[in-house]
Amino acid sequence: MKSRSVKRLVQVIVGVVVLALMVMYASKVLERKDAYEKYEAFFREENDFDVLFFGSSNMQLMVNPLQLWNEQGITSYNFGNTSERLPVTYWTIKNALEYTSPKVVVIEVSQYGETLKYKDMYSVHLAWDRFPLSLTKIKAVYDTLSPEDPRHELLFDIILYHDRWSELTTEDFSRTYSKLRGYKVNREYIVYDRPEYEYRIDSAAVETEGVKYLERTVEELQAAGVQVVFVHSPEVNTEEKQARINAAAVTAKKYNVPFIDFTVMEDSVVDYATDMSDTDHVNIQGAAKLTHYLGEFLTSNYNLTSHADEAGYEEWDTDYEEFRKENEGATLTEAEAVEAE
């Protein structure tokens, strides 16, 4: 009798394990691949990253980690994510730091003064889907989303993606991912004149909830010994939006954080006639200039040493060469102009 009970228990345990494995596999197949493709290289890196970049899509298109590697020998990852608000950035940083210990974190502040915690569910899914379920991820979901929001989708994404069977393609069964370390290439350009602004600060922006999250971010990073830098990508802004972003200087001064505003700096790093893909984003040509500038700034001001001759970084050389071959001499396409918002 006892042997039968043990056998039955073993059968139940095996059945539960098999079912769990089947659900996990189905979840990986059915999930949208955006987050996997963008962030998988982060999780596969065996060494700590020297620098992590965070922010909205402005950041995603402005910094190329493979170029930083080639020019400076430092490792970095670009977490820039479409329409990402500062509360989401706060939690993305907390999740990321459970897997790596950077010396510097660079935050793009074009979303400074925005009032919403997040713009839409797609941007939150893209930011967090690839992070495994953890206590930090659960805290992120419950802090950022309200009880009326579909929190469960972010914790168990098979709930969201379970009905994608009819959409599946061969790519859903592939585990290929981007080697660009989060950077996104854009080869379009729009001709702009560089705007001039009357410098003023929107003091109300400093009091918004998103800025409170930015302050928490800086305080926690500095307490952990991580250096922080604010940047603002080149943009064609309205006076109102630029006044809101100018207010980031208040937070930067409060915490003694460098703030590089590429939109209003005296000598522009980019050429607005050739390097902008729209009012908010640079193209590959602009990104090359901004990446070079930031690489010089970071290595001149922080204790970042080159890994170029060290063992264990060979894949960075391989991936840079692949990027160079694919993009060297690539022509830009003129896009239709859009107005600043």
Mean per-residue pLDDT of the chain: 88
Max Cα–Cα distance, the chain, nearest Å: 87
Condensed to tens digits (0 to 9), the pLDDT of residues 118-164 reads 999 999 999 999 999 999 999 999 999 999 888 988 887 654 454 44
pLDDT of the residue at 160: 47
Question: CA gyration radius for the chain?
Answer: 22
List the one residue out of 337, 111, 340, 112 whose CA is nearest residue 238: 340
pLDDT in tens, 157-190: 654 454 444 555 565 555 689 999 999 999 999 9
Model-level pTM?
0.87
Count how many Cα atoms sit within 13 Å of the Cα of residue 6 in the half-sphere of its side chain.
Answer: 3
Q: What pLDDT is attached to residue 176?
A: 86
273 in Cβ contact with 192 (< 8 Å) = yes
Q: Give the chain's end-to-end CA distance (angstroms, integer).
A: 75
- Structure tokens given for 187: 């080869």
Residue 212 has pLDDT above 60, yes or no: yes
- What is the Cα–Cα distance from 92 to 151, expressed in whole angstroms? 16
Task: Please indicate whether residue 21 or residue 100 has the higher confidence score (pLDDT).
Answer: 100
Please count the residues of the chain: 341
Q: What is the DSSP string of 176-227?
A: ---SSTT-----EE---PPP-------GGGGGSHHHHHHHHHHHHHHHTT-E
Report d(CA 93, CA 86) in Å as an integer.
10
CA pair distance 86, 89, nearest whole angstrom: 5
pLDDT for the residue 289: 98
Nearest CA-CA partner of 152 in 126, 125, 127, 120:
125
pLDDT score at 150: 85
- What does the alpha-carbon distance between residue 37 and residue 80 come to, in Å, rounded to a whole number? 14
The distance from CA 125 to its chain's CA centroid, rounded to whole angstroms, is 12
pLDDT for residue 23: 43
Helices (H) and strands (E) in the chain, counts: 14, 7
pLDDT at 45: 97
Which of the 8 DSSP states describes residue 309?
T
pLDDT in tens, 296-316: 999 999 999 999 999 999 999
User: Residue with structure tokens 């009032």?
Assistant: 115
Domain positions in the chain are 48-124+135-147+179-334
Percent of the chain with pLDDT over 70: 83
**Residue range 48-124+135-147+179-334, CATH number:** 3.40.50.1110
